[in-house]
Amino acid sequence: QLLHNSEVSCDSSGDGAVSVRISSVKQLKQQHSSGGLGSSAMCSLIGGSKHCKYSISSSCSSGEYGIRRPAVRSLRTLRKMPQLFERSAGKFWNPKFDSNILEEACRERCFPQTQRRFRGVLLYLAVSSLLWGAYFSASTDRCDTLTFLVPTTGFLLFCFLLFLFTFTRHYAHCYDQASLLLILITFTLTLALQIQNSGFTDSQEPPALWDGGEDMGDLESRNFILDSVNHVGSQATCLSPVGTFSLGMEVLMLLYSVLHVRLYASVLLGLLYSVLFEALGWMHLIQAGNWSHPPEEKATTDWEILPWLAPAKALLHICAHVIGIHLFVMSEVRSRSTFLKVGQAIMHGKDLEVEKALKERMIHSVMPRRVANELMRQGDEDNENSVKRYSTGAALISASSPKNTKRKKTSIPRGQIIFRPFNMKRMEPVSILFADIVGFTKMSANKSAHALVGLLNDLFGRFDRLCELTCCEKISTLGDCYYCVAGCPEPRPDHAYCCVEMGLGMIQAIEQFCQNKNEMVNMRVGIHTGTVLCGILGMKRFKFDVWSNDVNLANLMEQLGVAGKVHLSEATANFLDDRYVWEDGRITERIGQSVVADQLKDRPQSVRVGNCASSTLTLSTGAAQGCVLSPLLYSLYTYNCTATSSSTIIVKFADDTVVMGLISDNNEGAYLENWCQENNLLLNVSKTKELIVDCSKKQKRHYQPVRISGTMVERVDSFRYLGVHISQDLSWSLHTISLAKKARQRLYHLRRLRDFRLPSKVLRNFYTCTIESILTRNITVLFGNSTKQDRQALQSVVRSAERITHTELPDLQTIYYKRCQTKARRIVKDPTHPNNRLFSQLSSPSESQSEESELFNDSEVEAN
């Protein structure tokens, strides 16, 4: 969060230039009236609003000077200034951002670094003060100890107090003033050393030691006289001119490099310090020359020193200022560039989080959260695997070709990342709700498409909110039809209540809608409970959906419902209690003749081959071929067809029905015919077969033939039902021969794959999927009751596959034992299973193993 309630955002133009926009909530005053691209100019470029937005490029000091914004190029071309400052400074002698908001934000973000740097300066000056105090204490013959130690001690105490002041909250508001105070006190103390060098007076000059008319003799006698004068007249200086000059340069470097003062203030203070330093230094040289040379040579000595010493020192000072200014400018520009880059990184991270949240929200709006999370996790795993495969392949290619040592950075080909979002699950039980607007056609007759879409959006928006409140999952909208489910993909025990509450809420919502919009429409709602397949299909523009016959039944419940009421199926009503008021649907009374009977009776059928068509045949049995609604209506029509005797079992699979019953009194034809009449079923006698299984070991009995409506039903020795050959003697020889024949046919494909020299792993996978799956179908039932010859016939297929694949494959006996054990464990754990009573806990493990082995050998357990 920046100062003055400012907001930061960034965008990229795609050409490598990233821009930072900082917008202020408050109205900004114009601060830069001349020179540079001020806030008013920037506001006019971006939009001219009072709430200005400043656009500042990120490459102010990164060397990307060629990338400029087209709208700002003309204005920036007019500014004659070094290119280093053109994007971060309004004035080159005062490097700072044109935007006051950005400058204040930079100062705020860089304040911890400035604070640490100022503390470092204080520690450095404190250590220097201690060293100078030690030096002054040790040089008592050259320095007045009291005169030099008192200021040094005071400066040390001042640095300590200022160091403690940096830990207070007041330092954040006046750290510029604290830096300026430290500079002035440091200047004063360092210039005092120059004052002590110029502190000699004429009264200290010893008389009679210099006679102008007397020859001084050689150099050694002259030096002896000068040393005598220095010792007799006054004490020697503590620091030489070279030492004081080095100290002055050190202070200048501190001023420019680490102390936080503006550039113009640093330059002015530095120049003032240099002038005062040299002025006091020249006073020292002039005074030293007054009584170090004969009177007549005094003027000549000063003129000899000035021509070469003054320009040299001036050049040294200029060089020191130039170096200091360079360090200052580079530090300021670098800190601002770092601030921009860090800000861009933070904003890019925030934008990435926003985009990621937006993507997740968009995906969650088109599919359930659980499915969306699995889908995104699958996509991330596919991307990571593709990146790893591509990186490994690129590394191998670069290692194998030493010539291409310098390769350009390449991106991952789009074909490498393959996204397969297929995910399908079976959910049971699930309640499905269909709702349709009654009167939609009349409402849309006098409205434009735009107005009609607006009304539907308002109405469906209310339904979406109801979905969230009732814990339902919206699937789709089909025109004016709205349908959702409960208990999918997250299972819920109260799925039926959720759908009923959703339906009642939709009826109330459309009543409120009619009052607000002054419309005359109503809602027809139908609900059914059953099993669905839910998931995603396809590779592009996919969405979450559900499929099953129960979904079609729910749609039919809506079509046969009454406007303003919720129409439930019996399957849904079984999951509800008495908290709702029920009434009979009375479909026959409302619609007239049964819709189911109309669809199934007197159906015209014909066969067309090319342009030729057969004569029309009227049918009233079975499910009509080619009609989407007929299988659904047939399932609904035969929903209540159940066995009326405990000795009879009805097995239905689509429109194929199997009746298994116990023959008593040597006559079952009457029962079968009566059962068909009671359930209004007209069986096709030509397609009906009778299979009698006699398990008695006595002499076989003769049974009367079954007649349906006077027509005798054909009696067969074996019958193929759902891919399984059932024989009269309950042997599996016929079925085993069929399985072996079908498996040997597929060995041809396995040999072809071997001829193509595919790896053994691929051949083994092909065998497991296409051949072993055939051999092991219903193996828990048929293998234990098969003859040795039948088992060898099946095992011979496995041996042939081993010779083809050159690998060892699992034999059928091992697979049989494993699956029987797995099946037995499932039956033991499921107390509702019919065969659960066949298993009992034994006392000893050996007895358990023998009993289990005997059970497996004689097993007739139902296969999955």
Q: How many CB atoms lie within 10 A of CB 110?
A: 17
Q: Would you call 839 exposed, middle or buried from its count of C-beta atoms within 10 A (0-12, 13-18, 19+)?
A: middle
Neighbours of 618 (CB within 10 A): 9
pLDDT at 830: 86
Residue 682 CA to residue 686 CA, distance in Å, equals 12
Give the SS3 label for residue 778: coil
Given a cut of 70, is residue 102 above it in pLDDT? yes
- Check pLDDT > 90 for residue 249: no
pLDDT, residue 295, reads 46
- The pLDDT of residue 371 is above 80: no
CA distances, 846 to each of 843, 849, 857 (Å): 9, 5, 17
Adjacent-strand bridge partners of 201: none
Residues 6+ apart with CB under 8 A from 42: 52, 53, 54, 55, 98, 99
CA distances from 344 to 67, 104, 339, 341 (A): 17, 17, 8, 5
For residues 154-180, average pLDDT: 86
Beta-carbon neighbour count of residue 28 at 10 Å? Answer: 20
- Residue 798's pLDDT is what? 93
Most confident of 582-596, 692-706, 774-788: 774-788
Give the pLDDT confidence score for residue 525 in this predicted structure.
Answer: 93
Q: What is the pTM of this model?
A: 0.40
pLDDT, mean of residues 209-229: 38
Q: What is the pLDDT of residues 406-416, one digit of tens each?
A: 444 444 444 44
pLDDT score of 274? 86
More confident residue, 794 or 8: 794
Q: What is the pLDDT of residue 570?
A: 87
Predicted pLDDT at 416: 42
Nearest to 797 by CA among 810, 782, 778: 810
Q: Does CATH place domain 423-592 in 3.30.70.270?
A: no
Least confident range from 82-91, 394-403, 442-451, 555-564: namely: 82-91
Check: CB of residue 519 under 8 Å from CB of residue 555: no
Q: Binning pLDDT at 50, 70 and 90, where does residue 42 land?
A: very low
Q: Which helix (H) or strand (E) holds 502?
A: helix 495-517
- What pLDDT, on the 0 to 100 scale, is given for residue 818? 92
Beta strands in 624-734 (DSSP E): 648-653, 656-661, 689-690, 707-708, 711-712, 714-715, 718-721, 724-727
Mean pLDDT of 11-38: 39
Residue 52 has pLDDT above 50, yes or no: no
Contact 692, 728 (CB under 8 A): yes
pLDDT for position 817: 92
Residue written as tokens 């060892």?
Answer: 808
Most confident of 4-8, 533-537, 601-605: 533-537
Binned at pLDDT 50, 70 and 90, residue 705 comes out as confident
Where does the chain hold its CATH 3.30.70.1230 domain(s)? Answer: 423-592
CA distances, 434 to each of 364, 425, 526, 528, 694 (Å):
22, 21, 5, 9, 50
Tell me: the pLDDT tens digits for 777-787?
A: 888 888 888 89
Share of the chain above pLDDT 90, in %: 13
Tell me what pLDDT residue 105 has. 79
Largest CA distance in the chain: 170
CB–CB of 631/654 below 8 Å? yes
Query: pLDDT tens across 411-433, in order?
Result: 444 444 444 555 678 888 999 99
Q: Which residue has the higher pLDDT, 276 or 20?
A: 276
Q: Within 10 A of 487 (CB to CB), how many other CB atoms are there?
A: 25
Lowest mean pLDDT among 99-113, 569-583, 593-607: 593-607
Q: Look at residue 304 and tell me whether its pLDDT is greater than 50.
A: yes
Q: pLDDT-based confidence at 629, cuts 50/70/90?
A: low
Rounded CA-CA distance 582/567 in Å is: 10
Cβ pair 102, 343 in contact under 8 A = no
Q: Counting beta carbons within 10 angstroms of the beta carbon of residue 218, is it exposed (0 to 12), middle (13 to 18) or buried (19 or more)?
A: exposed
Residue range 65-82: mean pLDDT, rounded: 40
Please give the Cα distance from 318 to 242 (Å, whole number). 17
Angle at the Cα of 329 (from 328 to 334), degrees rounded to 5? Answer: 105
27 in Cβ contact with 50 (< 8 Å)? yes
Residue 366: φ, ψ to 5°: -105, -10
Give the helix/strand (H/E) hosting 314.
Answer: helix 298-366
Query: What band does 245 get if pLDDT is binned at 50, 70 and 90?
Result: confident
Q: Which residue has the higher pLDDT, 822 or 70?
A: 822
Which string of DSSP letters, residue by residue, matches 156-172? HHHHHHHHHHTTSGGGG
User: What local confidence, expressed as pLDDT, does residue 210 receive?
Assistant: 38
Token pair 């979905």 in the structure block, residue: 467
pLDDT (tens digit per residue) in 323-366: 888 888 787 777 777 888 887 888 888 888 888 888 888 877 77
Neighbouring residues of 439: CB distance < 8 A, sequence distance ≥ 6: 520, 521, 522
Instruction: Give the 3-state secondary structure of residue 671.
Output: helix
Q: Is the Cα dihedral 11, 13, 17, 23 positive or negative?
A: negative
What is the radius of gyration, based on Cα positions, of the chain?
50
Range 547-568 average pLDDT: 89
Burial class (CB in 10 A: 0-12, 13-18, 19+), 39: buried
Local confidence band at 686 (pLDDT 50, 70, 90 cut-offs): confident
Residue 459 reports pLDDT greater than 70: yes
Who wins on pLDDT, 852 or 108? 108
Which one has a higher pLDDT value, 697 or 325? 325
First to last CA, the chain: 63
Average pLDDT, the chain: 72
Q: What angle do CA 32, 34, 35 make, to 5 degrees?
A: 100
pLDDT in tens, 750-762: 999 999 989 988 9
Q: Are 10 and 351 in contact (CB under 8 A)?
A: yes
CA distances from 250 to 72, 184, 190, 321 (A): 42, 15, 10, 11
At 261, is the secondary structure helix, strand, or coil?
Answer: coil
- pLDDT value at 272 more than 80: yes
